[in-house]
Amino acid sequence: MEAPGVMTVLYLAYTLPEQVGIESLPVANKTMIAAYSVHYIYRAFVFPLLNPSMSPTHVLVFSSAFAWQVINGISLGGWLAGYGPTTVEEWKGRAEWIYVGLILWGWGLMANIWYDDELREIRRQAKKQQEREVQKAGGDKKARQGVEKVYKIPKGGLFNYIFYPHYLMEWIEWTGFWMVGGLYCVPARSFLINEIVTMLPRALSGKRWYIEHFGKESVGSRKAVIPGLI
């Protein structure tokens, strides 16, 4: 679902500057295009390959996500490739904000990938345990239907304090991205707000699921997505 967004941004970055009379985009523009592309190349192509299993997606969810990615790609791509700051002079005086933003972006991305892999490891172990249970039960179709899915509470790092640190890290990543673009980079700001608005309800719902399946005692004082707060 992420591929349309990055393809749109890259297409606009390649075609739009010439159409609006720009010979070459500033380094800051290219840096933001590269940062966006790195994240979504990981999400669209690497992430699905690494996952041991993925749940089916409803057609309406898929369609909505596809439409959002295209709209977001047009918005960001248009701003970065022709309708935002397009000269070095327009970026002057913002070096410190750009450096700090890139550090936040990189740190958030790396942490996001790390927490994703921790969740994948739980799925890998659960899948192996299910396979062992199926073998013990005889390995036929009825045996598979009788084997329950294995669920575990993730542990380690921020998982000891919240259930969705990968969400929090993604918010930090895109906060850094917005900092690079600047306060008035409306597409980056809108993107961050959309991420929070769509992911926060999922995190809260996920916490309720953990409480229902494991009990309040096992969940303890863990929050959903922000340590000590939410």
Amino acid at 61: V
pLDDT at position 203, please? 95
- Mean pLDDT (whole number) for 104-121: 93
Structure-block tokens of residue 104: 């936040």
pLDDT at position 96, please? 94
Name the DSSP class of 225.
S
Name the DSSP class of 43.
I
Name the DSSP class of 160.
G
Higher pLDDT residue, 146 or 81?
81
User: Is residue 201 predicted with pLDDT exceeding 90?
Assistant: yes
- Reported as a pLDDT band with limits 50, 70 and 90, residue 1 is low
pLDDT at position 135, please? 72
pLDDT, tens only, 36-59: 999 988 887 887 777 655 555 556
Amino acid at 26: P
Q: pTM of the entire structure?
A: 0.86
- Mean pLDDT (whole number) for 113-142: 75
- Residue 21 CB contacts under 8 Å (≥ 6 apart), including other chains: none
User: Is residue 28 predicted with pLDDT exceeding 80?
Assistant: yes
Other residues' Cβ atoms within 10 Å of the Cβ of residue 185: 20
